[in-house]
Structure 1
Amino acid sequence: METLEALSLTFVNAVWSTPLVLLLLGGGLFFAIYSRGMPYRHLGHAFGIMLGRYDQPDEQGELSHGQALAAALSGTMGLGNISGVALAISAGGPGAVFWMWVSATVGIATKFFTCSLGVMYRGHDDLGRLQGGPMYIIREALPRRYYPLAILFSVAGLIGTLPIFQANQLTALVRENFLPAGAAPGYFNLIVGCLIAALVAAVIFGGLRRVAAVAVALLPTMVIIYLAMTLLVLGLHAEQVPGLFARIVGEAFQPTAVTGGLLGVILIGISRGAFSNEAGVGTEVMAHGAAKTNEPVREGLVAMLGPVADTLIVCTCTALVVLLAGDWQGSEGLSGITLTAGAFRNELGIPGAVLLGVVTLILSTTTMFTCWYYGAKCFGFLFGANIQHHFRWFYVIAVVFGAAVSIDVVFNIISGCYGLMAIPTMIVSLRLAPRVRAAAVEYFRRHPY
């Protein structure tokens, strides 16, 4: 077992290393410069599209622009925003937050390019249904020699989107915040896992439309509640907030911030930023590829709002609360969710921790809903859409397994495969970037907003 743990740790560290970070960060910078800042100059238009001002009911696709964004955000807003930020701070110090901001800023351009391609090169599965995603972009837009990248993405996506980590952390949150210490029986995790699995099954067996409907109904409310909680804490310590921002920026360039120096801080911040907003990973392309539109650029514009809401707003709020509480400096052995819950308990008492538990319960569950869709699409591409429905049962079993068992090997493999998804996504997006830029120029020529 120790050998397997060592191998899995080597695998995940090899994937989330300097080359991948350079690919994500450098690729995002290239998209921003190559587009001459076009995505950033049209944020207002993007909000208008998201609100449905330009929806056409006769266009191809399954979801409205707003539903597609909600589905994508439900896959990112959850543990990454609440526990992932705390883990980044405990590992890399306050400076890691700055590099998460950098990841999100360049991620705006990345999502514009990748998700525009997701609609531009949609393809049909075995059942004739229109599908989007990096694997379909590769199949439809590139020569046959690129096809192995589609297989790599689908295999990595099938593993990397499994709900084992979410189920495990969610069970830990329920156990630690809703039961007295040591009160949980040995079979408690299994019971919680079965309850979560039943909830997940009730949604995913209704298909993508039900997933999107649940996300639209729950996500905005939960995010507003969470932001209200964080703003209350920040309001109680308003005089300290400017100093926290100064500390984040200052320690971002401080070589001694963590073991590994400046490079260590950058690696931690960029990787956690990628986990948070998924820019360049490719999962977002699958969600936005289902949008009901014949204008690829419009969906690219909507998609780029994701990093703004996910990382620049929600993750920043989490980071400031964790830094205010101060517990991150002695956080060895604490999980990310425990650290964040402790921060809210310090500031808002037991009601704050309980409310955080409820918000996280909802956000984490919606994440599992959306990750099922990602995994099912990868499964269908690899093995055929005609048997894709069987993946639902495997996914539900994985929820129970993740809740009941704590195996570092599994978590490392899933995390590593999640990172592997970015390699084909970024390669093909960089390869096809001229086509997106040409389409964007033509779009804004026809629609001079």
Structure 2
Amino acid sequence: MNNFQSLLQTIDSFVWGPPLLILLVGTGAYFTFRLGLIQFRHLPTALKLVFSRSENSKAKGDVSSFAALCTALSATIGTGNIVGVATAIKLGGPGALFWMWLAALFGMATKYAECLLAVKYRKVDDKGQMVGGPMYYLQYGVGSKLLATLFAIFALGVACFGIGTFPQVNAILDASHLSFGVSREISAVVLTILVAIVTIGGIKSIAKVAGRVVPAMAVFYVVACLFVLIANADQLFAAIELVVVSAFTSTAATGGFLGAGMMLAIQSGIARGVFSNESGLGSAPMAAAAAKTDSCVRQGLISMTGTFFDTIIICTMTGLALILTGAWQSDFAGAAMTTHAFAVGLSSDTLGPMLVSIGLMFFAFTTILGWNYYGERCVVFLMGTKAVLPYKILFLILVASGAFLHLDMIWIIADIVNGLMAVPNLIGLIALRHIVVAETKAYFNSTSKDEHELVTQN
């Protein structure tokens, strides 16, 4: 058994090794420059679209563009924003945060491209709901049923046995037990009932909850981090300087930190950054496809802000809190390190940990909801709408059983499948790059023409 686990860890290291990370960042870099730095030039426009209600009421789709974004964010803003950042900095030092930023900036262009394609190639299922994502642009755009099926199988594996269930369930149960003294069994029952209530209603129910919970939890966590940053404001500039300098030099061993070379900072920062915002993995396009919109470019712009919110804002807040408080040099790791940072930053051994626990529980809960929907879309693609109810029952059983499973092997398999999702998706993005470029040019040319005509009329 140990040999098998060791083999899985070797495969996991290979899957998430330099080739995949280079391909992920390289794809983002290609779209960044080919689309004229779209994520920098048009970020203000994208943010304006996120909070604007000027959508075409007759446009096809199941939920608003904002609700589709919140559904995608519900899956990406999760334990990775708290635990993943701590893991990256523990392995690679403060410089890992810089590489997380870089991966996110390029990742915004990737997220734009994949969500644009999701709307471009989306279909309507036999229940009248929108279906889309890498499965559909791989089959109908690239023309490869094999790649489409592989993606759907990998993504379904992640939903049922990875990010969508066990790690999130255990994060919730541990946080509720440690901070509020609630037994794991009671928490598991309550959690399963809540997931059932929300997910049985499908995308509209999930999007409704996500549209309220995601913005609230994000603001709550950012404000909590801001208190830590303000309390240590005199060291903020030095912390940012440390992040930038450490990104290009080795970080010496200090305190509980064992030291790290530049390559380890790059690898841990990029890997955890991609793991957190999921740019290029192909998950967010499945939510984007449900948006009520008549423009694939418009939805692509809205969707790319998800990576901005997830990594540039929330992961940065966690990272700076860890560095400012010196928690990254402690003997703690993962969630315990972030909890320690809040305890030190807020000078409270009760308030700090409680804020992290509340953040973890909400982040993990919404991740379960988002991935439940992604799994459902994969089931519809593979087996049709008749398989949705059996899938939902299985998903609830897996959520309930998460309280009693502590199998490291399951999480290693999940990590492998999560990385494998990216491969067919990236092949699709590269194969359809000309479609992305053509749609983008057509949209902005028409927007410029409309603005010109408006000026002329006035």
User: What TM-score bracket applies, with the shorter chain setting the length?
Assistant: over 0.9
What does residue 233 of structure 2 align with?
Answer: 238
- Work out the CA distance in 2 between the residues paired with 1:5 and 1:18: 21
- For 1:125-144, what aligned pairs fall within 5 Å after superposition? 125=125, 127=127, 129-143=129-143
Counting only pairs closer than 5 Å after superposition, residues 152-191 of structure 1 correspond to structure 2 as 152-162=150-160, 163-179=165-181, 188-191=183-186
Q: Is the 8 A contact 2:86 2:328 kept in 1?
A: yes
Q: Cα offset for 1:125?
A: 3.8
Q: TM-score, normalised on structure 1?
A: 0.93
* Root-mean-square deviation over aligned CA pairs: 1.7
Q: Given that residues 77 and 310 in structure 1 are in contact (C-alpha distance below 8 angstroms), is that contact kept between their aligned partners in structure 2?
A: yes
Give the letter aligned to residue 244 of structure 1.
Answer: A
Q: After TM superposition, list the pairs within 5 Å mapping 1:331-370 onto structure 2.
A: 331=331, 334=333, 336-348=334-346, 349=348, 350-370=350-370
* Equivalent position of 2:216 in the other structure: 221
> Identity across aligned pairs (percent)?
37
> 1:200: which partner in 2?
195
1:82–1:408 CA distance, 2 compared to 1 (3 A): same
Summarize deviations over 1:104-163 as a string: whole Å, max 9, x none: 1001111111110010011244556431110011111122xx222111111110111231
* Aligned residue runs from structure 1 range 94-113, under 5 A: 94-113=94-113
In structure 1, how many angstroms separate the alpha carbons of the residues matched to 2:55 and 2:438?
A: 23
Contact 1:126 1:386 in 2 (8 A): no
Matches within 5 A, 1:399-414: 399-414=399-414
Cα shift at 1:220: 1.2
In the TM superposition, 1:270-419 aligns within 5 A as 270-331=270-331, 334=333, 336-348=334-346, 349=348, 350-419=350-419
Unaligned runs of at least 5 residues, structure 2:
253-257, 452-458
Q: Is the 8 A contact 1:156 1:421 kept in 2?
A: yes
CA distance in 2, matches of 1:345, 1:271: 27
Gap change, CA 1:126 and 1:139, over 3 Å in 2: farther
- Find the counterpart in structure 2 of residue 151 from structure 1: 149
Deviation, structure 1 residue 10: 1.7
Say if 2:167 and 2:411, in contact at 8 Å, map to a contact too.
Answer: yes
Check conservation: 1:52, 1:65, Cα contact below 8 A: no
Residue type at the aligned position of 1:57: S
Which residue in the other structure is 1:27 paired with? 27
| Alpha-carbon distance change, 41 to 88 in structure 1, aligned in 2, over 3 angstroms | same
Q: What is the alpha-carbon distance in structure 2 between the residues aligned to residue 265 and residue 237 of structure 1?
A: 24
Amino acid at match of 1:241: L
Alpha-carbon distance in structure 2 between the residues aligned to 1:223 and 1:142 = 36
Per the TM alignment, residue 192 of structure 1 is displaced from its structure 2 partner at its CA by 2.1
- Alpha-carbon contact 1:173-1:337 (below 8 Å) kept: no
Q: Give structure 1 stretches of 5+ with no counterpart.
A: none
Distance, in Å, in 2 between the alignment partners of 1:170 and 1:13 is 27
Distance 1:216 1:96, change over 3 A: same
1:193-240 CA distances to partner (integer Å, 9 max, x unpaired)? Answer: 222111111110111111111111111111111111111111111111
Whole-Å Cα distance in 2 between the matches of residues 147 and 287 of structure 1? 21
1:264 Cα deviation after fit? 2.0
Superposed CA deviations along residues 374-418 of structure 1, whole A, max 9, x for unmatched, are 111112212222212211111111112223221110001111111
Q: Distance in 1 between matches of 2:331 and 2:153?
A: 35
Deviation at 1:259, TM superposition (A): 7.4
CA distance in 1: counterparts of 2:48 and 2:344, whole angstroms = 40
Q: Does structure 2 retain, via aligned residues, the 8 Å contact 1:95–1:253? A: yes
Paired residues of 1:174 and 1:357 also in contact (CA < 8 A): yes
